[in-house]
């Protein structure tokens, strides 16, 4: 959570003490899952042959929980992949799909990127689908994420940080 977001949440929390109704816009908030380990190209894959890798993961830590009197109305706006190690850059990714399954729910697609040979560096930010699922950043750790990557995969294990960018608002009603 960035400092501006924290300030807004604290301001709304302070207003709850005064028993007033309050609303606050949150223009930019991020939650990052660090060091998602991804397997190398499957054994026997010929060099320069496209393959698909599917990896599930969970977010380990989320922002501090909100008081029960505060309601968050957030939605994901973008997904950022940041290469940590195992490949020189992310240009080998030709397609990527990110789905989320909330406890007791059905899988929902957040990102479905289909590109070509992208001039990616070690980090790329992609917009989410036009109607992304309503993911609450304060509860995202209970959900299971599945990342599918297609391309000429590295021959060694590689690691990504996966960051979800959000926007929205929080409100308090006594």
- Does a structural domain hold residue 172? no
- Does a structural domain hold residue 41? yes
Full residue range of the structural domain in which residue 143 is found: 29-166
Structure confidence by residue, pLDDT tens digits, 54-99: 999 987 665 566 677 777 788 889 999 999 999 999 988 889 999 9
- Does a structural domain hold residue 108? yes
- Does a structural domain hold residue 130? yes
Separation between Cα atoms, residue 160 and residue 149, nearest integer Å: 12
Is there a contact between 75 and 168 (Cβ–Cβ < 8 Å)?
yes
CATH at 76: 2.60.120
Q: Which residue reads 């998602």 in tokens?
A: 36
- Does a structural domain hold residue 84? yes
pTM attached to this predicted model: 0.79
Ranges under pLDDT 70 in the chain: 1-19, 60-66, 116-120, 132-134, 138
Structural domain tally of the chain? 1
- Does a structural domain hold residue 20? no
- Does a structural domain hold residue 71? yes
- Does a structural domain hold residue 13? no
């Amino acid at each position: 959570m960035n400092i501006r977001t924290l300030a807004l949440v604290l301001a709304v929390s302070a207003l709850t003490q005064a028993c007033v109704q309050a609303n606050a816009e949150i223009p930019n908030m991020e939650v990052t899952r660090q060091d998602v380990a991804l397997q190398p190209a499957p054994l026997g894959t010929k060099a320069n042959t496209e393959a698909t890798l599917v990896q599930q993961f969970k977010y380990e830590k989320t922002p501090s929980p909100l008081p029960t009197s505060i309601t968050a109305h957030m939605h994901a706006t973008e997904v950022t992949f940041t290469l940590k190690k195992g490949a020189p850059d992310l240009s080998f990714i030709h397609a990527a799909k990110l789905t989320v399954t909330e406890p007791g729910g059905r899988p929902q697609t957040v990102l479905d990127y289909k590109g070509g040979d992208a001039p990616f560096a070690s980090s790329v930010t992609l917009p989410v689908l036009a109607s992304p699922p309503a993911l609450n950043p304060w509860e995202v750790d209970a959900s299971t994420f599945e990342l599918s990557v297609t391309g000429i995969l590295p021959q060694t294990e590689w690691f990504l940080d996966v960051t979800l960018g959000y926007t929205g608002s929080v409100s308090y009603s006594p």
